[in-house]
Structure 1
């Protein structure tokens, strides 16, 4: 019996290790893959024929409070639009992150009321970092660089390829409008990894310097300057 070609799986695992260093644990003999995020854990088992055919099985899925999320994960996978014969691990991990994030957001916290007067200027702008499974199509790349809103007040960096990275900073309403417009496109994975009030300085240009495309992750890191650590954490490299 012919052995399956594992080159596609090897490439997919290499990408996952780059995106989620120290969070991916894969055992080739059992074909078990585990993704951990703090105390949350997703355990998958890959069929011998994956990714050519078949889907990973969800063995276990738990948040930090050890709640069983298997049923929610299975529903999320079935609703993700993943097609058999395509790489799906990043989409499944993204679904798990979304479920855990929703649970965390629903958990009430007690914080002092913000000082709206002192924060009012900061709240006028925001910065968003988006992780994409890939950014290749010229139409999508052009749209990312040219918001329908012709306001010149938004700045940003885009990196095509695997993975794709989008970073936008500027007036909150303009950034939100551009992100929502991009969300309407058909993406294999579209994850908002960072969303905070306040603008970022990108390279030599300030807010309103426009959106530009770069070729490598290193160029993005150089452009964000002192925000390097925040950016790397957002895209899962630190």
Structure 2
């Protein structure tokens, strides 16, 4: 039970990282091979876990952002998350490390981590929430790293356990002056997982967001997007057919973003 839960959270963290962010194990070589094999097996065939040593070594990993001098390391105790609410020894250890960090800077980060740990405690995936909703966005917003994804397409991932229903046929297309903020981009990824939708976002200037899923979930997604603070959000349109999305993107001169994501490519040939 603990191992499955840990692998689920590691998978969620790994799949939620943005361009320029990385996940890696911080373990002795043999232990690292064990956890790499476990996570690979869980990503491909979750019901099949390879033969394991007893006990399985505790996992320790780090998450970094490109060009950031500050990074985060996390160690899961053996029985996390099963006993973390009642046993302080089973609460994950989260450290903030970095080259040239002053004493005051380190103290401020540690205080921020402890505050957010208390806030996310009790969630299904507290360390995912801590890293991807709080720590990494703060790292970017404070200017500790350079965003390298401005000219790249950003997938809104379709989680393996949240696949798009075959009957879903509702679509939404939004454009804005820009889509740069790591916090907004991470919110798009989180909502896509929570609402079982798929799509993409083109980051930089201009910003383009496309999503598809059930009508109820798309409407909630659009409401979430509109509730964020935007500069010149130029509106949104809902479509019933992918062909309508293709034509709209062609009209806007953005059809290459559709073909690059493999959406409606045959209609553009």
> Structure 1 length normalisation: TM-score?
0.45
Q: TM-score, structure 2 length as denominator? A: 0.41
Looking at secondary structure, tell me which structure has more helix per residue.
2
Of structures 1 and 2, the larger Rg is shown by: 2
Instruction: Considering fraction of residues, name the structure with more strand.
Output: 1
